[in-house]
Amino acid sequence: MGIEEYGGGQHESSDVLVVTTNDVPGFYVQKVIGEVFGLTVRSRHLGSQIGAGLKSLVGGELRGLTKTLVQTRNQAMERLVDQARSRGANAVLMFRFDVTEAADVGTEVCAYGTAVVLAPRS
C-alpha cells in the first residue's frame, strides 16, 4: 500500500477550509454558524478480525484495520464538510475527531468543529 492510502485531510480544491486552530491568519470570523459534525460507524468483517487476531500473536501493524480507519475518518470528514457547506459556511474551525467503540460491533468516528464564514482582513 502506498502512502496515499494512509493519509487523509482535504484536497487543495476544497471550498470549505477545515483547520484545528481557533483562527486563520489573514482572515476574521464574519459569522459563526455553529457546531457541525460528520458521523459514521463501521464494523469489521470476520476476515479482518481473524487476520488481526493472528497478527497480534507476532506483533506489527494491522494494515487492513489501519486502512479501514483512514477510510472511516475521511468519510466522517467529508460529511462534516458537506454539512458546513449546506449551512453556508466556508470554513470549520477547531476541527477534531472522536473515535469510540460502538456497542462492541464497530467503531464510531465523529468529526466535529465550528462552522463559520471567514472574510479576508483588509
CA nearest neighbour of 90 among 50, 120, 60 = 120
pLDDT band at 94 (very low <50, low <70, confident <90, very high): very high
Where is 29: in which H helix or E strand?
strand 27-42
Helix pair 63-86, 46-58: axis angle to 10 deg:
130
d(CA 116, CA 122): 18
pLDDT band at 68 (very low <50, low <70, confident <90, very high): confident
Specify burial of residue 81 (Cβ count, 10 A radius: 0-12, 13-18, 19+).
Answer: buried
pLDDT at 10 over 80: no
pLDDT at 26 over 60: yes
User: What average pLDDT is seen over the chain?
Assistant: 84
What is the mean pLDDT of the segment spanning 100-109? 81
pTM exceeds 0.75, yes or no: yes
Tens digits of residue pLDDT in 28-67: 999 999 999 999 988 865 455 555 555 566 667 777 777 8
pLDDT band at 121 (very low <50, low <70, confident <90, very high): very high
